[in-house]
Structure 1
């Protein structure tokens, strides 16, 4: 049987799609107020063809049946608020906590739709920002090496010579070392494979500041993964912030400033 025909037959005759009460607006949004809980999470995700959707889930369900409360096309603040406020106010007032990212738009959505909920910035979003800063430094060096390598190749060509990049102890060129170190910088040293350990040692020897920012990122992760109470976490984050400020790497300082600007919401994680 033709696949499209089977799909059409199921949709139009076998399933209850034609009588679905959300059919009229399903392209724009789907709401399941009955799945509301005390601890929610709001985030954006790409579901198809790269289009972004805003999704609201009940964290207490831990990904099981009944987790999804809302799926809304797009990320425009006013549109999201208009959909979420279709759910009864008394239901929304029951929410005690909502997890979100650092975007001001998300904070506005949470405050407007769930006014009694404590806002918590998830460790995932904080650490993601830090990991991106580490990767940015690696990429910056990679472009520098590529630029220098191109110059060397051009100079060799003008002399009628064949350019050959110098190989390191593990067989990588400097350019390859920077490219191949991407994944190890997302992992803690105890998770490195044997080849990654060797590569990390070479990388940190060649680029000491990558080593510094990498270990600063691990320090932040340790603060989140250790069960400190809120006051201890506040002190630990302050010390971490001071180290970053003293180190002076611009991108990392920007990350630290972002964390400082959302301090209380981040501390609500603990």
Structure 2
């Protein structure tokens, strides 16, 4: 747009900017930019660590300072790959004195992230993001719904086949709201993500029919909502520990295989999960920053010089 406004060749303007105006040639991180970027001056007391796919599907480990709120000074490190030993080696280029200032790190339940945090920032408490825990429960719920939907599709296909063999027209059964069974299961996807007080009238009617037809879905939905309630309403670690223990017991009694796996995962990571209730910190800032990076990358259909792209990115966020 700038090139068009001044009536100059856009590629020539871009080349001039890169080679002479931007100071890219003198960038002190240019030699290793494709592999890692590190900005120790941006280290703060509270930050997030996460992974994102940045270019050509390559994964990068991103460390960000929460205090910067996704603006200048937010980027602490951007390291190609997710191998713990590689990321730790780069982060330890920062003096130990600075790394000991970090008080809290939010992260997901991946083992490599926990090891990176432990080895690189020895004084920091680790906080497992609540949304990763809740996501596991919601995914288990959706898996049950999808499995039942495939069963409904198979039964409908069998019924259609039998009708054709008898040279009669197949007419599916309709529920009160006009849904067939497969439509009921397909259209229930989004309402199962929401608490029931946020359902509209159609969703209320659909949920009533769904839960009458499949009581197990109602049980699992209530387990998901109860987990969300624990996060929303609990004010301290002691209460959280008691409520999570009671939730685990409900899961055990319900006897859903996928939820038993979630309960075991929570038991393994319970200390870092409970750390959430100290400051109610989440990894939302990291997810938001990752989205900004992807949006920045999406502006360029073809990236011929990845180092220059990273240079421009760090000028904004580092």
TM-score in terms of structure 1 length:
0.93
Q: CA, structure 1 residues 6+131, in 2 after alignment: closer, same or farther (shift >3 Å)?
A: farther
Superposed CA deviations along residues 146-187 of structure 1, whole A, max 9, x for unmatched, are 111121122222222332322222222111121121111111
In terms of mean alpha carbon deviation, does 39-48 or 108-117 score higher? 39-48
Q: CA, structure 1 residues 240+17, in 2 after alignment: closer, same or farther (shift >3 Å)?
A: same
| Structure-to-structure mapping, 1:231-270, within 5 angstroms | 231-270=238-277
Corresponding residue pairs, total: 270
Give the gaps of 5 or more residues in structure 1: none
Give the gaps of 5 or more residues in structure 2: 278-318
CA–CA distance in 2 between the matches of 1:62 and 1:195? 39
CA–CA distance in 2 between the matches of 1:118 and 1:265? 8
1:167 aligns with 2:174: yes
Correspondence for 2:205 among 193, 198, 203? 198
Q: CA, structure 1 residues 39+155, in 2 after alignment: closer, same or farther (shift >3 Å)?
A: same
How big is the shift at 1:6?
4.4
Q: CA, structure 1 residues 185+11, in 2 after alignment: closer, same or farther (shift >3 Å)?
A: farther
Superposed CA deviations along residues 2-52 of structure 1, whole A, max 9, x for unmatched, are 655544343333322222211222222221211101112111122344432
Is the partner of 2:204 in helix, strand or coil? helix
1:43 aligns with 2:33: no
Correspondence for 1:95 among 102, 106, 109? 102
Correspondence for 1:147 among 141, 154, 157? 154
Q: Tell me what 1:62 maps to.
A: 69
Structure with the bigger RCO (C-alpha within 8 Å, sep 6+) is 2
CA RMSD of aligned residues (A): 1.7
Is the partner of 2:118 in helix, strand or coil? helix
How big is the shift at 1:268?
1.0
TM-score in terms of structure 2 length:
0.80
Correspondence for 2:221 among 214, 221, 233? 214
